[in-house]
């Protein structure tokens, strides 16, 4: 499907107080797309949104909307609206007056305003809430009002900055589905910011993974999960065991002194690589039947599966399995070619994907002395 580009960020650079916040950011967004900027706190997501909204001027680089450079266009002239984590409703106005606010500023006709308010409230499942005071609404309902208010201005692009972060888990999941449905039914572009990988994977057409002011990978949720481009992405999106390997030839990688068939090609001869193995892809077998043999060091029941930490020659892997293997069991594992994913070495190599520290944290959490000391300190 050929889609039209609505927003283009080209080689954007921003520093605050001499600290680089965005470095050479390039991003193209198609009309009608649900795009999510995903990354840890401080990686530059909000700054990127604010550049699109016109609230931050980049030090260098360009912003295009429908192919036009909009550097000189003030925020209120951009066909863009923003929804924040804090709903920023007018507390002294009722629901209807909040939603109608922008349209009244634009001097729209009362009949048109009334029709739009009712349509928007219906869209966000608040039909009939017109006269309710906003302070009598729950957090979820207030966020719906904020969404209705933003959409009432008929933006081409909606910017959403962690809009569900203040809601509890169950409500957040419901609102994820509702927001996705609203986006589909209106067909407008959503640019969504979150640090929650599951939220990003479940809502988006395209996920933009960011770290340290740079885009690490752009792709569909499946691409990002199945084909992470570097150790940062592999670690940030779900759980990953990441180890050092050497590509011997196309489709043949070595790690832990053993050669494995894989599905990756195009690396140099004997190129050092990072190997990712997802915890849910590993099959546990009797020790004498395994490609590798290890010893279970920790087990946590997670409902759907057991999170099992296994020591392979001092390197600890996470395995998610529905079978229970108690601590100290000696197990074997089998790795199929499709379970092994090869990545280029990057500045993130060696930083992620070993669960040694994970199980140490776990030991600490189970240590009552530490908990008691902290509690005592808090009470003083």
Ligand X SMILES: Nc1ncnc2c1ncn2[C@@H]1O[C@H](COP(=O)(O)OP(=O)(O)O)[C@@H](O)[C@H]1O
Using rule CB under 6 A, residue 164 touches ligand X: no
Q: Output 178 or 196, the one with its CB closest to ligand X.
A: 196
Instruction: Tell the smallest beta-carbon distance from residue 45 to ligand X (Å).
Output: 3
| Nearest Cα to Cα of residue 129 among 140, 139, 118 | 118
Closest alpha carbon to 250 in 238, 268, 233: 268
Q: Which of these segments, 26-34, 39-47, 265-273, 320-328, binds Mg ion (CB under 5 A)?
A: 39-47
42 binds, among Mg ion, ligand X, none (CB under 5 to 8 A by kind): ligand X
How far is the C-alpha of 247 from the C-alpha of 267, rounded, in Å?
A: 7
Residue 209 CA to chain centroid, in angstroms?
A: 7
Using CB under 6 A as the binding rule, whether residue 16 contacts ligand X is answered as yes
Coil, strand or helix at 37: strand
Question: Does residue 42 touch ligand X according to CB under 6 A?
Answer: yes
Nearest one of 158, 222, 115 to 7, comparing CA atoms: 158
Q: Which two tokens stand for residue 41?
A: 């706190």
Region binding ligand X by CB under 6 A among candidate stretches 14-22, 245-253, 301-309, 356-364: 14-22
- Contact between 21 and ligand X (CB under 6 A)? yes
- H helices present in 165-292, as ranges: 169-186, 197-203, 221-226, 231-236
Give the separation between CA 47 and CA 259, rounded to whole angstroms.
45
> Which residues does residue 68 pair with via DSSP β-bridges, in sequence order?
65
**Of the listed pieces 36-44, 83-91, 243-251, 342-350, which binds ligand X according to CB under 6 A?**
36-44
> Which alpha helices (H) appear in 106-257, and where do they start and end?
110-123, 139-152, 169-186, 197-203, 221-226, 231-236
Closer CB to ligand X, 166 or 330, in the complex: 166
- Determine if 41 is a binding residue for ligand X (CB under 6 A): yes
Is 17 an interacting residue with respect to ligand X (CB under 6 A)? yes
* Residue 17's binding partner out of ligand X, Mg ion, none, with CB under 5 to 8 Å set by partner kind: ligand X
Question: Which of 35-43, 92-100, 112-120, 141-149 is the region at the interface with ligand X (rule: CB under 6 A)?
Answer: 35-43
The structure tokens listed for 262 are 């894989």
- Residue number with CB closer to Mg ion (84 or 260): 84
User: How many residues sit in the footprint of ligand X (CB under 6 A)?
Assistant: 11
Candidates 46, 82, 143, 153: give the one binding Mg ion (CB under 5 A): 46
Residue 13 or 130: the one with the smaller Cβ distance to ligand X is: 13
Site for ligand X in 44-73 (CB under 6 A): 44-47
Task: Return the one option of ligand X, Mg ion, none that residue 16 interacts with (CB less than 5 to 8 A, by type).
Answer: ligand X
The CB-of-193 to Mg ion minimum distance in angstroms stands at 6
* Distant-in-sequence, close-in-space partners of 341: CB < 8 Å, separation ≥ 6: 226, 227, 228, 234, 262, 264, 275, 276, 277, 278
d(Cα 23, Cα 377) in Å, to the nearest integer?
Answer: 42
Q: Which residue is nearest to Mg ion (CB)?
A: 46
| Among the residue ranges 16-24, 167-175, 219-227, 369-377, the one whose residues contact ligand X (CB under 6 A) | 16-24
Q: How far is the CB of 180 from ligand X (least distance, A)?
A: 22
Binding range to Mg ion, per CB under 5 A, among 40-48, 106-114, 139-147, 261-269:
40-48
Q: Which helix (H) or strand (E) holds 90?
A: none
**Is residue 324 part of the contact set for ligand X (CB under 6 A)?**
no
Q: Which two tokens stand for residue 231?
A: 């150790």
- Please state, in angstroms and rounded to a whole number, the distance separating the CA atoms of residues 302 and 372: 25
Q: Which residues bind ligand X (CB under 6 A)?
A: 16-17, 21, 39, 41-47
Q: Which residues bind Mg ion (CB under 5 A)?
A: 46
């Amino acid at each position: 499907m050929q889609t039209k580009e609505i927003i283009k960020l080209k080689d954007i650079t921003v520093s605050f107080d001499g600290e680089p916040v965005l470095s050479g950011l390039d991003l193209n967004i198609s009309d009608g797309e649900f795009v999510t900027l995903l990354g840890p706190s401080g990686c530059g997501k909000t700054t990127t949104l604010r550049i699109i909204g016109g609230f931050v001027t980049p030090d260098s680089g360009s912003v295009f909307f429908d192919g036009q450079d909009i550097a000189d266009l003030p925020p209120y002239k951009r066909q863009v609206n923003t929804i924040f984590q804090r709903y920023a409703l007018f507390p002294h106005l009722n629901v209807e007056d909040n939603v109608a606010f922008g349209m009244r500023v634009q001097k729209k006709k009362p009949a048109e305003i009334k029709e739009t308010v009712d349509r928007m409230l219906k869209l966000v499942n608040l039909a009939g809430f017109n006269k309710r005071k906003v302070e009598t609404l729950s957090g979820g309902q207030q966020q719906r009002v904020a969404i209705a208010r933003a959409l009432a201005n008929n933006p081409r692009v909606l910017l959403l900055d962690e809009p569900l972060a203040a809601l509890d888990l169950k409500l957040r999941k419901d609102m994820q589905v509702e927001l996705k449905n609203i986006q589909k039914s209106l067909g407008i572009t959503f640019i969504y910011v979150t640090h929650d990988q599951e939220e990003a994977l479940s809502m988006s057409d395209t996920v933009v993974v960011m770290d340290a002011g740079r885009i690490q990978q752009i792709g569909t949720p499946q691409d990002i999960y199945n084909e992470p481009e570097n150790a940062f992405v592999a670690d940030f999106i779900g759980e990953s065991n990441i180890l050092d390997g050497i590509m011997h030839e196309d489709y043949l990688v070595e790690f832990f002194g053993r050669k494995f068939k894989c599905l990756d090609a195009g690396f140099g001869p004997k190129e050092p690589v990072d190997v990712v193995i997802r915890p849910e892809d590993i099959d546990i077998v009797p020790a004498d039947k395994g490609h590798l043999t290890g010893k279970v060091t920790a087990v946590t029941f997670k409902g759907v599966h057991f999170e099992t930490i296994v020591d392979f020659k001092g390197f600890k892997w996470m395995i998610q399995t529905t079978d229970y293997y108690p601590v100290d069991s000696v197990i074997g594992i089998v790795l199929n070619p499709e379970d092994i994913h090869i990545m280029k070495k990057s500045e993130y190599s060696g930083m992620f994907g070993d669960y040694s520290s994970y199980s140490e944290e776990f030991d600490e959490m189970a240590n009552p002395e530490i908990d008691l000391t902290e509690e005592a300190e808090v009470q003083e």
